[in-house]
Chain A
């Protein structure tokens, strides 16, 4: 038997042995209703300032903004003729934002005007999604004790997992692309451009409301896509990494679902965080570019 095969059998055997051991030791428990999954995403105000209260989502937003600005400015100030690896990576990122996202979807004058906005949008959402997978001490409902100091427990939370953050970003994009459309074609011209060419007469009464509704649906779809992707990812990680075992009271289930939790964590961290930021910025560019063209 080759070494790889032995390793594979060893790991599978250890996994199954662990499940069997936990079934024997702990047996089958009963349902536990005191663990509510909503509490993992609850926002507790730490500093009460009314609407501007500081809770963990606000802290995450500040961290994402400061981190984005600090890292990009730091790299930009250290650019050399012969780039090192970090500078090359950032240059690839810059080329992705400028050529793929911005220039690929709108003409050159508009691209020069809106590239800073789209670049900042992409980077901010990307950083926000990524720090959501870093455990930080933000769960002030369950504090733990180290040398007498009560520290909030480490928890995974992303600013974009709350519906307000994607909603505001989508609202900004909505205002921007409508304003670009009205600025370039005038208000009447912009509303006329919603109607596809070749449509006239009675069917206009059916098509026009649908087009208006679909323009408003862009706001909703941008929000829900980013919010639900990140929230669902976090909830699946929570359930697989032990949440399901706690709710159902079955200890062996925690051991069983842990590898899936790790896989989902890697999938979310590696693919979904970047992809959702890229999609948000690309769709914003498509909407801005599309608002200026005449149908």
Chain B
């Protein structure tokens, strides 16, 4: 399995694709004033893998998560592209079909999940709620399953009767994850699940998720801005910038051989805890306004390699959008500098 090996696995033997996004585009608003939050994204999640989706604010990662679950809030809507789960197209399904799809096939843990719990309901009842909404199960069996799940995520079974405010932040997060697991989905989308938690609890939860994945075999779409977390826990990582995927690679490869200047800049923005203390530069400027993104490569205004010294390349960078190209098995980059433009 890919998670135990440092070297990228040759794609030929990777497990079947679970969720495939092709050319997905999501707009907020209509007509002139619309902002294209996600612009032509190709993404594949395989069975049982942890795919990390990393990027900073405005890159579109949360929008993708909402699009996958089909819970985009108006005026957000899918404008183009396809989204298929085990070959079945998700776009255009009726509300009823989507309801069945949600939670059984794909479930989601939201960013402010701690606030997603109903404060006036006991924890166990919230499990029952979720389960009864998607399958026929009587209350007693549902509660029993809830207790089991709490045990699995490392919470005392007796807490089934607790109210959310009686639990700490980390525990509430675990409850949410347990509810997401309650119907044995094949894919769980975690949207910044540990952002609001401290480092120690974060590690505990990540270890828990890994253990559960090992036992149940579900795939995870892990969305975060913390690339260092992904480098440690994810199998594959996709880096997003301004609504596009700019690089995908297995975690080990990305850590040592990131090709896209944005990825490189991002990785360098994490000051190291060990090794020599050096001055870092981060990435100058800020992400673009998606109502009016830069022409050509969207990163070019901030890219250290985009200069007028090489006019041919410069022209390319400012006019043509780079396409994701595979530079080695499993590793794709969308950059004019890589794969043939000049070097």
Decide whether A and B are members of one complex.
Answer: no
Q: What residues of chain B have their CB less than 8 Å away from a CB belonging to chain A?
A: none
